[in-house]
Chain A
Amino acid sequence: MWTEGHGWFLGDDIDTDQIMPTRYLAHSTAEDLAPFALSGNDTSWAATIKPGDVLIAGKNFGCGSSREHAPLGLKGLGIQCVVAQSFSRIFYRNAVNIGLALLTIPKAIPVQPQGSTAWIDFPNGLLSFDAGVTTYVGVPPAPIVLEILAHGGLMPMVASRA
């Protein structure tokens, strides 16, 4: 099933200091962090991005510091999915653990104008800019990732087994 939102494009190697600068790390909830999300890249992102929007980045998204405040801030903005050619391992785990959807599409995606409509079919790992006529196919997540997402995050899964 396709869900649509505005697509916002970012480059390669967007590190977590850019996604959530150090000076906001005294906050620790998605709600409190949201206004500062991506402010190390451009301070206007938090006002631009609306719930349901899609971030589309290049290689190595989320590299650097392990701060979970980075995916928390993006989740707080209501981003439906972050698409990237590749994610850093720690950012990927952190996002899955808090229930933020990520889609890896290794092939470079042609950059569209900022704010173009992007369609996501997360269960099937698909991205499109024309309502599904042309699709970009992502890598299916590992079974453990699907299991964590099915529980709504890692801690609910751990608590359910305790």
Chain B
Amino acid sequence: MKQTITEKIIAQHAGRDFVQPGDLVDVSVDQTWSDDLGAPITLGLLKTHGIPAVFDTTRVFVTSMVNAPARSIETAEALKVTRDLCRAYDVPLFEMGSAAIHNSLGIERGVTLPGELIVGGNSHSCMAGALGCYATGMGSTDIAAILATGRTWLEVPRTIRYRYTGNLRPWVTGKDLILHTIGQIGVAGADNAAMEFVGDPISALEVEQRLSMSNMAIEAGGQNAICEPDDKTLAYVTPLAARPFTPVYGDPGAAIFEEIVIDISNLEPVVAAPFLPSNTGSWRDVRGLSLDQVYIGSCTNGWISDLRAAAAILKGRKVAENLRVIVIPSTTEVHKQAIEEGLAQIFLDAGAAFSMPTCGPCIGAQAGVLAAGERCLSTSNRNFPGRQGSVQSETYLCNPVIAAASAVKGVIASPDEL
């Protein structure tokens, strides 16, 4: 029986020869993680229910990244709970000098590998799927059960294949492809399916741009997003891999639920306006809109390649007056690399803030929370009401080059206008 890549990976982890969409299966989990929001609940549940140890301490880690470094007494207490519980369960904790966003850290540490089954404790855990693994997000109690047993249950998703055609135009990135896709199908458009990205433009994208795409599968309602591993994938993951892995490929001719063809020949950089990631259009539709803040970072676009792209535009230029520009790398390694490559110097010379790895303004917890009436252009992934602060603030989503150009102009702009 022919199977898609997603079905094959799930079948292998369920100890079965094949699975079909709709099957409820019990699967082994190769890697999981949590953060300072989830860990107090997840690890607290292990304690409450008398679970003495996690199933494998090499297959879990925790990052303190939303409320860390502590920004209040309340968050300091919560971070302390996280720290104490990680110590008690011997779970590696990344904070302060090793701080990172977990979705990004899992990839960087080579523990989300082709053919693996990954379940992270946050919705954007789906990002790793662009490497050719099944990756999905779950909540705190599901992660607690995984830590207790090494297993979870899944409903095998049907596969919707998104076939991109045409050539990428200037300044168009993976972020634009996924924003455009969400705009086409809606925030629940993938309806819990496996989103499979194929086509020449996908092959043309560098791995980190594909990761920006799979990152936002959740904004389309996908259960997971996946790209078949190619030479670029293997060149990216092989030096990082923390354990042996075997890539999995779908069977040619395997049945899928639907194929959606998306021609990107005329696609220009995309901006999603408040208050849904599906509220998309060309950057031109919002050209000249005034801004209070620009954020370049998050798990979606806090990769070194994103910082390089933004720095290339900011180099030798100044950010606009009365505009707050915040650049935040997604991991400590990216932070170090940005310093080594001179990118940090470029950001600082331009008048932007360059900060340690955190989720930053993405989730409105710290480092750039918005006041009522303020507008932020952000390379993150969500623009729901109040996502970055006041419910009367506005978040527009875009790629890093549009963000950098807009940082210079002070209004939504393209690099061509500089």
Contact = CB atoms under 8 A, between A and B. Distances in A.
A68 B41 contact: yes
Interface in B378-398: 382, 384-387, 391
A93 to B, nearest CB: 6
Contacts of A23: 364-365
A153 interface: yes
B155 A25 contact: no
Chain B: interface residue count, which band?
35 or more
Interface stretch (B42-50, B231-239, B260-268, B303-311): B42-50
Interface string B150-180: 0001010000000000000000000000000
B121 interface: yes
A65 B103 CA distance: 13
B386 A18 contact: yes
A159 B50 contact: yes
A143 interface: yes
A6 interface: no
A22 B384 contact: no
Contact of B51 (A64, A67, A97, A159): A159
A37 interface: no
A68 B24 contact: no
B39 to A, nearest CB: 10
Given A17-B387, A97-B141, A144-B24, A65 B363 contact: yes
Given A66-B121, A144-B153, A159-B50, A154 B386 contact: no
Contacts, number: 127
Contact of B142 (A21, A94, A162): A94
Nearest to A156: B49
B155 to A, nearest CB: 7
A25 B38 CA distance: 9
Nearest to A25: B37
Chain A: interface residue count, which band?
35 or more
Nearest to B52: A162
A13 B50 CA distance: 37
Contacts of B331: none
B78 A89 contact: no
Contacts of A26: 67, 72, 74-75, 77-78
Interface in A86-117: 86, 88-91, 93-94, 97-98
Contact of A89 (B40, B144, B192): B192
Given A64-B384, A93-B142, A13 B24 contact: no
Interface stretch (B105-113, B132-140, B195-203, B337-345): B132-140
Nearest to A157: B145
A9 to B, nearest CB: 17
A66 B391 CA distance: 20
A17 B155 contact: no
B298 interface: no
Contacts of B364: 17, 21-23
Contacts of B75: 26
Looking at B144, B155, B188, B382, the one whose CB has the most chain A CB atoms below 10 A away is: B188
Interface in A45-78: 59-60, 63-69
In order of increasing CB-CB distance, the 4 nearest A-B pairs are: A94-B139, A97-B141, A159-B49, A60-B188
